[in-house]
Structure 1
Amino acid sequence: MSISKRKKIYLILIVSVMLVSVLTALLTKSSFASNEEFNDLSEYEDALVTVTSNDSFTSIYFNNNIKDVKELWQQADTVVRGVPLEPRKHLHQATFTPLQVSIVLKGELKENVINIYEPSDIDFTSQKLSFYYSRSGYLLMENDREYILFLKKLPVPEGYEKSEEEERSYLPLSTLYAKYPVGSTWEGDIISSESSDFTLKDVYGYDILTRDDQILSKYLDFRNQLEQHDYQLNMSE
C-alpha cells in the first residue's frame, strides 16, 4: 500500500471519529432543548403515563445492565444524597432538576447544588391533557424527599470545554438502578401489561416503573443493601 493511500485512509478514519463525536454532541443537545418550568410534580397527578423503552437511545446514555451494587458504585462518577429543588425545567426527553446535596459519598463537588438531567418529562402541549413520559422506567424525584443518586458526568465530545453549568451537571448512571428514595416504604409493584391507560397519580410513590419481575427484584435487592448500610455506602474502587 502506498504512503499516499495510507494517508487517505488515516484521514478518513479521523474524519469519521470527529463526525461521530459531533453527532453525539448534537443528539445530547437536542435531548435537552429548553421548554417550560414547573414546580411540584403532584400538580400533574392526572397526567397520562407512557413508559417508553427505546433501547438504542437508552444505551447511549445509561447502563441498565448493572450486575450488583459494587458495580453500580464503581461505574458512578459521583454518589450523593440530596433533595430536589424548585423550579424544575421541562426539556425534550428530560427534566432539568437542581439538587441540594446533603452528603457526598463518592467524588468531589465544588458546590452544594448540582444539576440533574432526569430521563423523564411532562408534555404540556395539550390544553386538555398533560402526558408524563417515563424513559425506560425512570420516575422523576418527588419534592421534599431525599434520595441517594449514582451519577455520571454529562457526556461531551473529546476536546469540548464544558461551561460552569455543565461542569456541575450530571445524568443518572441508569434509568432503573441509580436513584433510591431514602426511607422508601414502597413494597414493589409491577405495572400491569394489560393496562396502558393510567395516570401519574396511580404510580405516585413508586420508585421505578417496570413490567419485568426480574428488574423489580434486582432493584429491591439493591435498595435493601443500601438500607442495610444506612445509605452510607463506601466501597473500594
Structure 2
Amino acid sequence: MKKLDKVLLSIVVSLVVIGAVVGIFTKFSYKDNVSFSRISNDIDDYKIVVGDVDSDRAFYKSFYVENIKSLSDLELKSDYILKVRAEDDRKTLNNTLYTKVNVVKIYKGNDLKGKNYVYIYEPCFFDVYNKTFYSQWGYNFMHNNDEYIVFLRKIKAPQGYHYKNNEGISFLFTSVPYGKYKLKDIGEVIAVDEKKINQGLKYGDVKDLDIITSDSDVANRYESIKNEVLRKYK
C-alpha cells in the first residue's frame, strides 16, 4: 500500500478490534506518532506531496462524500456544521493530523451542545524523517488560533462497538477539500501549477492557500462554496 493510501487507515483500526492482530499493529504504528509542536517551527522548508482523488477513488469513497457541487450538498450530507478554533493540541497520528478544536458555535448537530471541544482527523501529515508534507486530495491543515466553518460526519462504528476515550467526539470532514473554510485573514484560492508541485514546491510556498490543487475546476468550486459559506455562517 502506498504511503498516501494509508491516510486515515488508523480511524478504521481504532474502531475495529480484531484481537491480537490489532494489538500488534497498534504497537508498531504508534512508534512514529509525534507531537505537532515538535515540528511546527520547521515546516516551511518541507517539500509537499499531494494525492489526488482519481488515483485513490475507492479509498476516498470509504470516508468522504463524492460529487459535492454546492453548499446545499454539504449541508445535507453533514452531521455537524460548526464554527471552530484550531488549537495547538494536535499530533501526527498514523498519517493524519489529529486536531483538537474549540467549538465556538453550533449550526447543525445539537447533540454537541455543552461540548467545548471536539477532535478532527485532518487528512494530511508531516513526515519529520523525510521533511515532507503529505496532503491528501489538496487538503491544507487548520492553522492554530484561526476560526473555521467545518462540515463534519460521524465515524460509523461497527454494531455493538462502544466508543472509547475521545472517539465519540472525533470526526471526519464531509468532503475533502470542500469541508472547511477559514473565516479570518482569508487565504488564497488558486490553482497551483502542477509542474511546480512535481518539481518540488515547499510548504512555505503554499501555506497560505486554502487548498492545494492544480485543478482549476476544483479551485473555482471551492471559492464559489466558500463565498456562500462566508455570507451565511458568521
Per-residue deviation, residues 187-211 of structure 1 (Å, max 9, x unmatched): 4211111121101100011101111
Equivalent residues in 2 for 1:205-220 (5 A)? 205-220=208-223
Retained in 2: the 8 A contact 1:62–1:173?
A: yes
1:70 is aligned to 2:69: no
Shift of 1:25: 3.6
1:175 is aligned to 2:176: yes
Equivalent residues in 2 for 1:1-237 (5 A)? 25-26=12-13, 33-34=29-30, 35-39=33-37, 41=40, 43-53=42-52, 54-108=56-110, 109=112, 110-126=114-130, 130-195=131-196, 196=198, 197-229=200-232, 231-232=233-234
Q: For 1:75 and 1:172, locate their aligned partners in 2 and report how far apart those are by CA, in whole Å.
A: 10
Per-residue deviation, residues 25-78 of structure 1 (Å, max 9, x unmatched): 438778995411113745311111000122222111112411211110111111
Q: For 1:214 and 1:104, locate their aligned partners in 2 and report how far apart those are by CA, in whole Å.
A: 30
Larger radius of gyration: 1
**TM-score relative to the length of structure 2:** 0.80
Report the RMSD for the aligned CA atoms in angstroms. Answer: 2.3
Shift of 1:138: 0.8
Q: For 2:188 and 2:139, locate their aligned partners in 1 and report how far apart those are by CA, in whole Å.
A: 17
Shift of 1:164: 4.1
State percent identity of aligned pairs. 27
Q: For 2:96 and 2:229, locate their aligned partners in 1 and report how far apart those are by CA, in whole Å.
A: 26
Q: For 1:55 and 1:216, locate their aligned partners in 2 and report how far apart those are by CA, in whole Å.
A: 19
Retained in 1: the 8 A contact 2:139–2:176?
A: yes
- Secondary structure at the aligned position of 1:167 is classed as helix
- Secondary structure at the aligned position of 2:119 is classed as strand
- One-letter amino acid of the counterpart of residue 145, structure 1: D
- Secondary structure at the aligned position of 2:42 is classed as helix
Q: For 2:189 and 2:12, locate their aligned partners in 1 and report how far apart those are by CA, in whole Å.
A: 36
Per-residue deviation, residues 170-199 of structure 1 (Å, max 9, x unmatched): 111111111000035334211111121101
Q: For 1:141 and 1:41, locate their aligned partners in 2 and report how far apart those are by CA, in whole Å.
A: 12
- Secondary structure at the aligned position of 2:118 is classed as strand
Per-residue deviation, residues 89-124 of structure 1 (Å, max 9, x unmatched): 102231100001110111021411111111100111
The equivalent of 1:6 in structure 2 is none
Q: For 2:187 and 2:86, locate their aligned partners in 1 and report how far apart those are by CA, in whole Å.
A: 19
Runs (4+) off by over 6 Å = 27-32
Retained in 2: the 8 A contact 1:99–1:115?
A: yes
Q: Which runs of 5+ in 2 are unaligned?
A: 1-10, 17-21
